[in-house]
Amino acid sequence: MEPLDDTYIYLKIPMSYQDKVPIFSERNEYVRNYERLARDHMEAQRRTGQNPWIEECLWLEMETSTADLIRKYAAPSQRILDVGVGLGRLLEDFSNLDRYGVDISFDYLRVAQEKGIRVCYALIEDMPYVEKFFDIVVCTDVLEHVLDLNLACCKILSVLKDDGTLIVRVPYREELKPYLDESLAYEYAHFRNFDEHSLRLLFEKIFGCRVVETVFTGYSAAGLRLRYKLPGPLRGSVKSMPRVASTVIRPIKKALKGINSCLPQGIRKILCYPTEIIVVVKKREKTRNRNEFTQSEIFTVTSNHGETMK
């Protein structure tokens, strides 16, 4: 069976097809690293029924929060793109939408395709769709992985219609030190962390969009990110931290980890920091692109706010 005629969807002709999936990117070291990660994920899923990197109840909570935002901002029959579609879990229940997905793992894409999502194989840097094609774009657990954040955002925004909606979910204030461990199985994993301020600066100041909503999600005691304050006399005392952590904080965390799935979300929100943050971004008609400012213009802008860069 021949692939569908997608000439009106894509900017360029696919390099080839595999299992009816159009291919727009060459395999490189970064792609091979991601393919290993995806294979390990799928193998663990087959063996245990669980995601090897995140507990199921936490994953479901974060996906449900994202799906709720899709329902809020998407209208029936609109075109939606999932950048980093993975297994297609996020879009599988939205049969009322015209669903598309892009990823760089055929293991993932085959599963997403079976759920009725029109998929393609491409790096974000090679975003193949025509400009302003989608009414809504979702991008979850992706931007922490990309090599060039600004280029990735530029490509994502290029395929979103003016006044379209972008929903981004990323880790919230994640500890990055573990990704420097030489024993880590993957060369490329997470490169940056985010909070509500960095995301607003990225989308509003750099790209001229508008952040219209922020949602925190993934309140998990198992994530070991408890909210707590030291007693007044100890607050700010660095020397007291190890003793407090070992005698108070660690036992509490250990106990809560064991009963995490039983704790109501309201209790977890009081006790724990969120694992991830979601921002809803509206694209303005004159959204800036990555090459809008020349080098001389950047220097001029800088000189107006202080010493000129040389």
pLDDT in tens, the chain (310 residues): 344 556 689 999 999 999 899 999 999 999 999 999 999 999 998 898 888 888 777 888 899 999 999 999 999 999 999 999 999 999 999 999 999 999 999 999 999 999 999 999 999 999 999 999 999 999 999 999 999 999 999 999 999 999 999 999 999 999 999 999 999 999 999 999 999 999 999 999 999 999 999 999 988 655 445 554 444 444 444 444 445 455 555 565 555 555 555 556 666 676 778 899 999 999 997 766 655 544 444 333 333 444 433 3
Confidence at residue 33, expressed as pLDDT on a 0 to 100 scale: 96
125 phi/psi in degrees, rounded to 5: -60, -25
My answer on whether 30 and 149 are in the same domain is yes
- DSSP letters, 80-123, are EEEET-TTSTTTTT-TTSEEEEEES-HHHHHHHHHTT-EEEE--
- Which of these, 61, 59, 53, lies nearest to 37 by C-alpha position? 53
Confidence at residue 141, expressed as pLDDT on a 0 to 100 scale: 96
My answer on whether 124 and 77 are in the same domain is yes
Domain that holds residue 192: 16-220+274-287
Confidence at residue 262, expressed as pLDDT on a 0 to 100 scale: 53
- Which of these, 64, 66, 43, lies nearest to 53 by C-alpha position? 43
Tell me the pairing of strands 274-282 and 210-219.
Answer: antiparallel
Say how many domains are in the chain. Answer: 2
My answer on whether 185 and 225 are in the same domain is no
Q: Could you give the CA distance from residue 106 to residue 19 in angstroms, rounded to a whole number?
A: 9
My answer on whether 116 and 211 are in the same domain is yes
Q: Does residue 296 belong to any structural domain of this protein?
A: no
Q: Does residue 306 belong to any structural domain of this protein?
A: no
Residue 129 pairs in a beta bridge with: 10
My answer on whether 28 and 160 are in the same domain is yes
The type of residue at 22 is P
My answer on whether 132 and 232 are in the same domain is no
My answer on whether 94 and 194 are in the same domain is yes
Q: Could you give the CA distance from residue 253 to residue 225 in angstroms, rounded to a whole number?
A: 8
User: Token pair 């992985």 is at which residue?
Assistant: 145
Confidence at residue 225, expressed as pLDDT on a 0 to 100 scale: 55
**Strand (E) or helix (H) holding 297:** helix 295-303
Confidence at residue 184, expressed as pLDDT on a 0 to 100 scale: 92
Confidence at residue 296, expressed as pLDDT on a 0 to 100 scale: 40
